[in-house]
Amino acid sequence: MKKALIPTALAMAIGLTFGSLALAAGAGSGAGSGAGSGGAGIGSMAQSAEMFESRAQVQAQVKTQDRLLTQTRDQLKIQDQLLTRTGDQLRTQDRLLTQIRFQLKAKDTLKTQTRDQLQDEEKIYLQTIDQLKAQDQVLLKTRDILKDQELIQLKTKDQLHVK
């Protein structure tokens, strides 16, 4: 509203100035002709004021549009910077995700290797237990054989003493 009032007020001030000059010029040439000149001056003054006012409005609109275009350009620059930063962040996140994937694969490989090693160790442990059981059976048989031999020796000794 203020923008429209300022050009209108300025146009009125210019119009009054031109009107006063035209009236003064008309008064100098005589009363009858002064009134005619004053009338013509007021008519052309009104047209000049309207042209000035419309020109001022167009200039004001152009300035406003220019300001809006500048603001739009600035906003586009900011958005472009933000998009660039977002793209950089996405690339960084993609690299981090790739590294995490590799780390997870490495951990999975280690888990698999550890599981395999534990299974191998379990097999070895079970084999060792089986071997120890077999050795225990051999020792038990050996003990039984030794007991039998001892009994035989005792009988032989008794038989040798008896004769």
As a whole number of angstroms, the distance between CA 89 and CA 82 comes to 10
| Token pair 């300035």 in the structure block, residue | 63
Could you tell me the two tokens for 129? Answer: 């237990």
Residue 7 and residue 57 in contact, taking contact as beta carbons nearer than 8 Å: yes
Query: What does the buried/exposed string (b/e) look like for 9-36 if buried means 16 or more CB atoms within 10 Å of the residue's CB?
Result: eebeeebeebbeebbeebeeeeeeebee
Residue 75 and residue 18 in contact, taking contact as beta carbons nearer than 8 Å: no
For residues 131-157, give the mean pLDDT: 95
As a whole number of angstroms, the distance between CA 80 and CA 137 comes to 84
Cβ neighbours of 79 (radius 10 Å): 10
Residue 40 and residue 22 in contact, taking contact as beta carbons nearer than 8 Å: yes
As a whole number of angstroms, the distance between CA 92 and CA 85 comes to 10
As a whole number of angstroms, the distance between CA 24 and CA 105 comes to 99
Q: What is the pTM of this model?
A: 0.44
Confidence at residue 33, expressed as pLDDT on a 0 to 100 scale: 45
Residue 56 and residue 11 in contact, taking contact as beta carbons nearer than 8 Å: yes
Give 22-75 pLDDT, tens digit per residue. 444 444 444 444 444 444 556 666 677 777 778 888 899 999 999 999 999 999
As a whole number of angstroms, the distance between CA 82 and CA 94 comes to 18
Confidence at residue 22, expressed as pLDDT on a 0 to 100 scale: 45
